[in-house]
Amino acid sequence: MISPINKKIALIFDLDGTLVHSVPDMHHAISKTLKEFELGSISEEQLQLFVGQGMLKLSERVVKFCGGEQSLVEPVYNSYRKKYSEVPYKYSRYMKGVANTLNYLFEKKIPMSVCTNKRQLVTEKLLGQMNIDHYFKVIVGAQDGIKLKPNKEMVDLVISNLNLDDFSYFMVGDTANDIEAARSAGIKSIFVSGGYTDKSAKVLNPDYVLKDMGELSDFLGV
């Protein structure tokens, strides 16, 4: 358990691999796109390693992995973005411990927000379809004019929009993007194991490490 100087805690969550196991729906969409462009297939496990830096970067990595030409990246991205945006929540599910934890923290009136490299409209749609959007005071996704994590701009935007005085902020995530963004923004990072990274906690060097989201409430002491 941590013991902050004050107990006024605000949480900023990553989405993919932290709150939601969203790869199944991403895989469903990208598989349709790969078939459309007569490219090879990709497994969910491999795709999971490409998640975290936005749809364009994911599309670039997938095209390269499947042996496609660089010229296919933009059309693949446009196709994948359309397909996934239409159906972001069909096969996805909560990461371990998330459902009960979010409900408990909400009842405890802990300010919670989402900061993700997933597109803003898709993020809002996904959270809405999962009926958990009301848990979050601020939702910041990828949008024009804002640099993605690991840059700190998205985290700074969340903190600015929350506008809370004398609160201790914690970025909760599963990849280097989250840890580095928190560090750059001057807030503490909580790494949740079992997400979308192939790097160990020792390599990522977060401030704190959890086995899964089910440990968060006890860890925070709330």
- Whether 3 is covered by a domain: the verdict is no
Q: How far, in Å, CA of 202 to CA of 179, rounded?
A: 12
Is 187 a member of any domain? yes
Task: Report pTM.
Answer: 0.93
Tell me the CATH number at 209: 3.40.50.1000
Q: What is the pLDDT of residue 1?
A: 55
| Crossing angle between the packed helical segments 55-65 and 23-36, to the nearest 10 degrees | 60
- Nearest to 3, CA basis, from 220, 169, 191, 204: 220
Residue with tokens 């958990």: 132
Task: Say whether both 180 and 133 belong to one domain.
Answer: yes
In this structure, the number of other CB atoms found within 10 A of the CB of residue 221 comes to 11
Between CA 152 and CA 144 the distance in angstroms is 15
Assess if residue 70 is contained within a domain: yes
Residue 123 to residue 85: CA distance in whole angstroms? 9
* Residues 168, 170: Cα–Cα separation, whole Å: 7
Q: What is the mean pLDDT of residues 154-177?
A: 96
Domain-embedded: residue 206: yes
Q: What does the alpha-carbon distance between residue 97 and residue 132 come to, in Å, rounded to a whole number?
A: 14
Could you tell me if residue 2 is inside a domain? no
> What's the CATH code of the domain at 78?
1.10.150.240
194 in the same domain as 104: yes
| Arithmetic mean of pLDDT, 44-66 | 93
Query: pLDDT, tens digit, for every residue of 70-92?
Result: 999 999 999 999 999 999 999 99
**Number of domains comprising the chain:** 2
Q: How many Cα atoms within 13 Å fall on the side-chain side of residue 168?
A: 12
What's the full length of the chain, in residues?
A: 222
Co-location of 64 and 122 in the same domain? no
pLDDT digits (tens, 9 = 90+) for 145-161: 999 999 999 999 999 99
153 belongs to a structural domain: yes
Distances (CA, A) of 56 to 17, 59, 158, 203: 18, 5, 23, 26
Residue (of 189, 113, 191, 106) closest to 158 by Cα position: 113
Q: How confident is the model at residue 5 (pLDDT cuts 50, 70, 90)?
A: very low
**3-state SS of 100-168?**
HHHHHHHHCCCCEEEEEEEEHHHHHHHHHHCCCHHHCCEEEEECCCCCCCCCCHHHHHHHHHHCCCCCE
Beta bridge partners of 209: 191
Domain that holds residue 40: 23-86
